[in-house]
A = this chain, B = another copy of it.
Amino acid sequence: MNAKEKLSRKNGAGLHICVGLDTDIKKIPQSLLKYEDPVFEFNRRIIEATKGSAAAYKINFAFYETEGSKGFDSLKRTISLIPNDVLTIGDAKRGDIGNTSQMYASSVFDHFGFDSVTLHPYMGRDSLSPFIDYGDKLNFVLALTSNPGAADFEKLKLEEGSFLFQKVIKTVTGWNEKENCGFVFGATNIDELKENIGLFKGMPVLLPGVGAQGGSLEETARSFEMNGHNAYLINVSRALIYCDASENFEIKVKETLEGYNKIIAEIIKSL
């Protein structure tokens, strides 16, 4: 099953929450520190508890790289636990000249075995094409991000009339010959999402910003469902994985995720 099929099956079953494994050893329950690899043990329990209710898992490379090769080992072991029918997103935000992007693509897709990746568009087509060349993978290109700095460059107005992030969306849409591109779009400003949702042309959208960053899960899901756009993933990281600090934290994580799924199910039913 390729990446797009995995996503479309989960989305078709009403599952749209992506569990963000931004696992920080300083934030996980203290009770895990007795394990040899506490980060892996934390991820193992989260995945075990949520694998039937998650639409995808997004693993944030930064949180593993900070421990060097030890972190990369935890990352690789974590991926091996994710069931084969659930999309894995390597949130690595890569992008470099062609021969270097080729190496990054090989790292994310071949070495770690991710189904999909997040990418920086700044360096243009040949920085993305080594990833896009993997026809069975999915490539989420940064469009409008969820952080305050999105205003600095992404929202600059171009001479031709659109904002830079809109130009990125339109341009990448033209590079989508293998139908394996999508976008990252911040869910922190619902009006911006509504204004731009038509630009996505049904391509998969990964939405960070819900939870710790203040975006609304309900309004985000409603915007997509009302537009008949089913290929979307709402990422929740900190607000979900650290919702309980007790020894059996995974029970509360599972309940919280199922609560999110219920909110989305009710929106779908109401339309």
Does A245 sit at the interface, judged by CB under 8 A?
no
Over the window 150-164 of chain A, the binary record of Cβ atoms lying under 8 Å from chain B Cβ atoms (1 yes, 0 no) is 111110111110001
Q: Which residue of B lies closest to A161 (CB)?
A: B159
CA distance A157 to B159 in the complex (A): 6
In the complex, are the beta carbons of A22 and B100 less than 8 A apart? yes
In the complex, are the beta carbons of B149 and A156 less than 8 A apart? no
Oligomer: number of copies: 2
Does A38 sit at the interface, judged by CB under 8 A?
no
CA distance A150 to B127 in the complex (A): 9
Interface size class on chain A is 35 or more
What residues of chain B lie closer than 8 Å to A97, measured between beta carbons? 145-147, 208, 213
CA distance A132 to B67 in the complex (A): 21
Shortest C-beta distance, A107 to chain B (Å), equals 4
User: Which A residues contact B (CB, under 8 angstroms)?
Assistant: 22, 24, 60, 62-63, 65-70, 72-73, 76, 93-101, 103-104, 106-107, 110-112, 120-128, 142, 145-154, 156-160, 164, 167-168, 171, 208, 213
Q: Could you name 15 residue pairs across A and B whose Cβ atoms are closer than 8 Å?
A: A60-B100, A63-B100, A69-B72, A69-B73, A97-B145, A123-B142, A124-B148, A124-B149, A124-B151, A124-B154, A125-B152, A153-B167, A156-B159, A157-B160, A159-B159
**Other A-B pairs, 17, CB within 8 Å; known A62-B103, A69-B70:** A60-B100, A62-B100, A66-B103, A67-B107, A68-B111, A95-B120, A97-B208, A121-B153, A122-B142, A122-B154, A123-B149, A124-B153, A124-B154, A127-B149, A156-B158, A156-B160, A159-B159
